[in-house]
Structure 1
Amino acid sequence: MTTEATLADSLAVADRVRALMVRHGIGKRQQTTELCRILDLSFSQGHRKLRGSSPWTLAQIRKVAEAFGEAPTQLFGAQENGLGAPGAQPREAMLNMGAFEGPCIAWIGEPLGPYERAEFVAYGEGERWRIVRCDGAPGERAHEVLKIEIHPRRGEAERPAVAVVDADQAAAEALCDYFAQNGFAATAYDRLAAFADALHAQTFDAVVTDWLFDGHTAAAAIEAVRRSARPDAPIFLLTGDLLTGKASESEISEVIRRFDVACYEKPARLAILVADLSKRLGRA
């Protein structure tokens, strides 16, 4: 059982894909471009596929074959992979083994007789297959499994939760979009009361807030963060009111000292803000 397509498998599939393209009049110089079009890959990704240095998924092989009107089995080459069974076909299946249950690709052979044995067997369930380890006699309709491939999905790192509090809803949503593009899960709040309600219901890894809201400052909200379930969350104060004289420099200075707040003047340079936030969260 393999966890990734072996280099030999990738090279073999790549060779067959190149041969298929030649048969359909696709010259060597156009093959990477054509593969990128079919699989929606970048040029470098397509180049690695055709060199055999990047593993192929079952879905990709099928898509290439279908694009040229050919059977996917022509690209699998079960006999050439040493499976030793002309009828073996790769199938999408679910592997059940102890506490593990997950998707896999299995090369499934012929039905087993009552006195035949195999380490793994497959049972057809409608259009799907279920693979299990066979410790004794196989059940009825059990097929021999000749090869199993598991392609683990790389888990996405948890995205830090960021609250963006700004009376300008459009500005808050734009900042949330920028955070999302840089790996954060940001939520916009255009009222201090709405943010206060959210703070009672959930925790935030960081808070970015404006200063003035309908004559009120964010001082109380900032203090509430420091009393919340995540009191060490980085807090960034973004304001353009110092230059206009609407905000009190002494009040903001006091908040910075008391609650360890970083202050940026608007319009903030977002790349610098994200770099500062990432560093404070240990993601830099």
Structure 2
Amino acid sequence: MLVAASRLREMRLIEPSVGAPGAGGPGIVVTDTEYILYRILLNAQPCLHSRQRQHGIAPRGAIPISGTRERPREDVALDLPEAPRGGLAGFVEQTLKQALMEGRLKRGERLVTRDLATRLGTSPTPVREALLKLVAAGALEAAPAQAFTVPVVTVREYRELADIRRTVEGLAAERATIAMRPDVLDTLHAINAAYRAARLGHDVAEALRLNRTFRFMLYEAADMPTLLDMIERLWLRIGPSLNHLYPRPNEVDLGRHSYDDLLDALRLRDAAAVRASIERAIIAGTEILIANLADEEDLPVKRRVSFL
């Protein structure tokens, strides 16, 4: 490590004469690894993307070129509260997790470390730490220029995630039925009423927020922290696509909502019926979301819409 650090310091002191790996001239000769580390230390763009482009390989997280079917990535301005003085990285991580799971961060959107730090009134270090944790969880992708992007989940990936969700969320709902307390059940009824009002009022953002609140209050009642963590990781992946879940206003079915059946089954402590209600909701939601995504991408998939 000491030898490497000394080598990099030597490179930086004579920056104008440092050449690319294998280049001739008066500059010092450096290896591939040394050159990449040198560029990172200067906070410049590493040459990895350049080399990938030379070989026709698109860099991970790159902005799509004009004419591709994927939407161009956009910078996003979140309405963030000011960060508290203590536990800054944890605060940023929780704030971004909530935004991802509630669909306030959408597919392909771009987050810049320094911009987030400015909005939160903190230094870039805890913000970057939180963003890197979300990258490790698969919720974000690292991009050039100290930025991060929300991954674009494909239809195939979403179907796979839905299959996994049916298993783990169904188990959580089943176990929650056994441990359900009357006060929690009352709160779930109140959330469901507010959720229906938001749907009927075409307030998609509020409906998404209440939907997540309802689901996680139910799952938390199971008192299974490891299972809850698995569910949260899945929602971090699907959340940015949930804006495609709800149909257009003139297509909303005002009939009985799937959560009504679930609440009735909870009252009767029918664990199998509660699990079945959650699994049906996931299946129906997946069909609607994929159909709406297909409409956006002009794919020939039959549209199916119901009131979830």
In the superposition, the TM-score normalised over structure 2's length comes to 0.24
Q: Which has the higher strand share?
A: 1
Q: Which has the higher helix share?
A: 2
Identify which of structures 1 and 2 has the higher relative contact order when contacts are C-alpha pairs closer than 8 Å and 6+ apart.
Answer: 2
